Chain A
Amino acid sequence: MGRRKSSAVSSLAALIILCVASLALFTVYVKEGDSGPLHTVQLGASEVLRPVRGLLGLAASPLSAASERVGNVMNVEEKRELEEKVLEYEEGAAEAARLRQENERLRQLLDGQRPSFTYSPLASVVAPVGGQLTKRVKINVGTNDGVQPEQPVVVGNNTLVGRTTNQVTPNTAEVVLITDQSFAAGVRIVPPSGSDDDSSDDSHGEGLLRTNWEGYLGVDYVDLSAEVERGDFVTTSGRAGDRELLFPPGLFVGTVESVSSQDIDQYKKIVATPAVKAKDLQEVRVITDW
């Protein structure tokens, strides 16, 4: 009887000690820098597991492709081509709209093929990573290709899909997608190029791009007087208050899906549709300098 009681006490003590050890690990991980030991362990493991993750991703791809085929009536290949064309059109339209809104000096600067952008080599999305509450992917370029933490990740020339996190190894980089709740970017809302509205930039609205807990991409802090309409383009503004530029201006993010506001609201409630869905991501590029 006494031995059983003693065993129960020692088990409880072990449970408490291991829980405290777990919490200590958590605290150290949060407090340590990106070069701390726990982060280094994760980076090393990420590098080692890269081929395995790639293989597993490859093995899982037929499953997702099959479910996509069942869900879609249209031919997958045809649909992909159409989506690419739509994306190309929207990119061009957003670019044109943005340029029309800029002053003459900026228009001349950005005319043509964005000479100030430097891209990493084309990168493949290796696999999704992280827990159920995050939307992150791993790509197969890293510091060897000039990729650094906190750089914009795009599809095509200028469609923003996310940014790199601090988890960058020589051959891989972790990307937090724009639909992750920890992602935020200063954005500007511009009307489609066919619009006759030639009012100033501010009247079309600027705000902060964020994803709420329900998974909806939204633009927060847009003034009630802003003339935002469904179908307007959302592009990066290149600024976030007084903070250093995290994204260059003019990257296409998505289109406005709905706009609403009530009398008691201080700002408009804007829901946007991302230009590229996370599940469609295959090849991306990192803007390494601008």
Chain B
Amino acid sequence: MLETVQISVVRAALLVGLAAFLESALSPLLTFGWVGPRFLILGVVVAVAGLRDLQALLLGFFGGVLTDALSSALFGAGALGGVIAAAISVRAGDMRRKRGTGLYFAQTVAVAVAAYDLVALFATALVGQGSPPILSYLASGMFPDVLLNALLAYLAGGWLLRLLVAKEEAWT
């Protein structure tokens, strides 16, 4: 027997808004070197998990723009990261039924955080603010960042998803 869930769009939007706020206000306090929690990515991946494609992409974009507006980061980089995270979450949707919620969120967040970190790296390099060599960044920055956020997603993803579920249906 497989399960499908129907996500409340309003709750999903609220979760993404909260994630954007935490990303801009709390994440800098918890970032050590290049590694820190990416609340935006975690929020977007979970929030759009049961939404339709267009809703998911728009919500990812909304979360990214909100993060950009609330933080002092480069405007547009967060928006792109949010859209990419939403797209990855949508594409990985089938995996949740096959592998279980925890593993699904861990893997999806890992890929989305990797993409988000690369976007941030290239954006920083593009504006000439100085960025590390990509191989060193991949090894000592992006890799531990991905692991940390995948662990967070594994632990918290299922719980967050339950907060968003408006209706749960069982089907065979």
Contacts and interface: CB of A to CB of B under 8 A. Distances in A.
Contacts of A130: 28, 71-73
A46 interface: yes
Given A14-B53, A29-B74, A56 B25 contact: yes
B150 to A, nearest CB: 16
Most buried by A among B54, B131, B136: B54
Interface in B86-124: 87, 90, 117, 120-121, 123-124
B73 A131 contact: yes
Contacts of A260: none
Contacts of A38: 75
A133 B79 contact: no
A41 B73 CA distance: 12
B131 A136 contact: no
Contacts of B83: 15, 18-19, 22
B80 A213 contact: no
B45 to A, nearest CB: 16
Contacts of A214: 132, 136
A76 interface: no
B142 to A, nearest CB: 10
Contacts, number: 135
A182 B130 contact: yes
Interface residues of A, number: 44
Interface in A1-48: 7, 10-11, 14-15, 18-19, 21-30, 38, 41-42, 45-46
Contacts of A27: 76
Most buried by A among B31, B35, B68, B136: B68
A216 to B, nearest CB: 12
B35 A49 contact: no
B10 interface: no
A23 B87 contact: no
Contact of B75 (A14, A26, A60, A174): A26
Interface of B: 24-26, 28-31, 33-36, 53-54, 57-58, 60-61, 64-65, 68-77, 79-80, 83-84, 87, 90, 117, 120-121, 123-124, 126-127, 129-133, 136-137, 141, 145
Interface of A: 7, 10-11, 14-15, 18-19, 21-30, 38, 41-42, 45-46, 49, 52-53, 56-57, 60, 127-134, 136, 167, 174, 181-182, 213-215
Given A14-B53, A45-B71, 10 more contacts: A15-B87, A42-B70, A42-B71, A56-B26, A127-B29, A131-B77, A132-B33, A133-B129, A133-B131, A213-B131
